[in-house]
Structure 1
Amino acid sequence: MKHFIRQVFKEVLENPVFDELLIEKYFSKEYIQLVDHSQLNYEEFVLHIKKLKEKVTEQKLEIINYAENGTVIFTNHIAKSTLKDGSKVVHKVLAEFTIQNHQIIRCDELTLLVEGNHTEKDLGSEK
């Protein structure tokens, strides 16, 4: 499952282009994301990804550690983002992904801004 999550990171998040077909490939229409103090359904998640692509010129995700248990994979990863204004932000992310029928159906995530402007602390849930 680590390979699957790595592909999601590469094709959906690190990809500078908004591609809803890639989101549909990897995320169930029943998708729910709990992130910090917000809950996003599938449609809101699509809007979130679109907003990210509008704000971010480059994003790199590095998995520091992971654990798997059946249909669940937990990642501790770092998200390094360069915004369109040239500023950089770094978030530490703890995420628990539930996979069903080769798609992510749920993500329970905590993000922590570790570098950059505090106004970007909610970059992980902004829509």
Structure 2
Amino acid sequence: MPFTPAQLAAQMQNPHPFPPPNLATWSASTLANQAPMLAAYFAYWDGVQNWITLNGGNGAPFGWDNLIGLEKNGQQVVLLGPQQTAPFNDAFNDVRTHRGSPGFRLFQASQAAERLIRFLPNL
């Protein structure tokens, strides 16, 4: 069963059955104080990924280059250019790439999620 941009945004804002994200706190974090928050963020992020897979995704990592399951008006979403690919890249592909690295920046990852949530209604 596919999901719409609005459903993805809602899931990213309140990922049932997972605890609601603390995007505002995570966005205000710094490299110096992010360590205690990383586990909760990654649980949130993994929960969103799992929801995508369970709701129409193909099990492969979701991101700008794999939007399987994301449909608008019954049609698979196709991103047109960097203005549309960038929010997905920042919120999914970049997080996956930098996850676990010593330079991972929680504030950037959570700000990217917030930007994508605001962007999704414009697809």
User: Would you say same fold, with TM above 0.5?
Assistant: no
TM-score when normalising by structure 2: 0.31
Considering fraction of residues, name the structure with more helix.
Answer: 2
Higher relative contact order (CA closer than 8 Å, sequence separation 6+) = 2
